Amino acid sequence: MSKFLNRQQVIAFLLFAVLFTAAVIPQTKVWAAQPITVLVNGQAVNFDKQPEVVNDRVVVQIRTIAEMLGCSVVWNDDTQTSYINQPGVPLQQTAVKGNDIQVYVNNQPVDFPDQKPLMMNDYVMIPSRPVVEKLGCTIDWNDNTQTQTITSAGTPVISRPTPSQAAAAPAAQPSASITPTATPTPVITVLKGPIDLDELSLFGITTPIGLNETETVTLHGKPNTAYTIDVHYSTGISSAAGISGSDKTKTSDSNGYVSWSWIIDPKTAKQTHYLIVTGGGEGLSVEFEVR
């Protein structure tokens, strides 16, 4: 018998080896990743760089989403900071360069506890949920369709009452109201999210907000006008520094802007509270949640 395999035997051996390998080695199926869809108020967002999932968090080009929500977006390359402001909020570039990309919403820093913003192929990619919620919007994720749905808080239509209507405001109105004077003041309605009342607008509110965190509220009203803030907790009106004493009433600047800031006391009840701002014959209120 020959010590060497002939050609037919070699071919048969190689064929057997291929078939044996295919039979015993598990085959890995490779599926194409399903693209992520982002909807803003029902409208699909067109990105230059498609969203991705990093550490179980959806990261996106936040500029596109913010601009669809009516915000202005400014990028400071020196400090690697993205500033996102809602309409009427003056830009204050206060960030100092750090080790990470930073995001400020209405001049307040955004915390990213799970996944920090990152640079991907020269695009700044930012976890969307912390930013969107800071803007007062709701955000939902459908894992089956890989769809993220963002819905902005609607602005209710609020009509100003006539003098006779203001004097006879129905009992169904919320308790947070202002008693009409010689110049009737509109009934204040407690609302959720940023709202507008003709000349008055209230924004920049962080909700929900945690204990020991700093809350900031900005009002845009009449220029050079005194405005008073009352923050109502379950225990009564807050006496925190920044919204009590001489800080309770402030005069708006020549453009009509005035702001208050205070720290949420660690003993504050974790529930929904509200604040009221009055001045110039007008008033409005907004709810915020302490978590």
Average pLDDT over all residues of the chain: 77
More confident residue, 141 or 161: 141
| Cβ–Cβ under 8 Å, residues 126 and 103 | yes
Rg (CA), the chain: 28
171-214 residue pLDDT tens: 333 333 333 333 333 333 333 334 334 456 777 788 889 999 99
Give whole-number Cα distances, 275 to 3, 89, 229, in Å: 96, 19, 7
Helix (H, G, I), strand (E, B) or coil at 277: strand
Whether the predicted model's global pTM rises above the 0.85 cut: no
In this prediction, residue 131 carries a pLDDT of: 94
Euclidean distance between CA atoms 63 and 245, whole angstroms: 40
Give whole-number Cα distances, 282 to 159, 160, 194, 249, in Å: 13, 10, 16, 14
| Cβ–Cβ under 8 Å, residues 150 and 38 | yes
101-145 residue pLDDT tens: 999 999 999 999 889 999 998 889 999 999 999 998 999 999 899
- Average pLDDT of span 44-72: 90
* Token code pair at residue 288: 């915020």
How many residues make up the chain in this entry?
291
- Its CATH class, for the domain covering 163-289, is mainly beta
In this prediction, residue 90 carries a pLDDT of: 85
In this prediction, residue 6 carries a pLDDT of: 65
21-36 residue pLDDT tens: 555 444 433 334 689 9
- Average pLDDT of span 235-250: 90
Handedness of CA 85, 90, 94, 97 (dihedral sign): positive
Instruction: Please report which helix (H) or strand (E) contains residue 21, including its range.
Output: helix 7-24
More confident residue, 14 or 225: 225
Domain layout of the chain by residue ranges: 37-151, 163-289
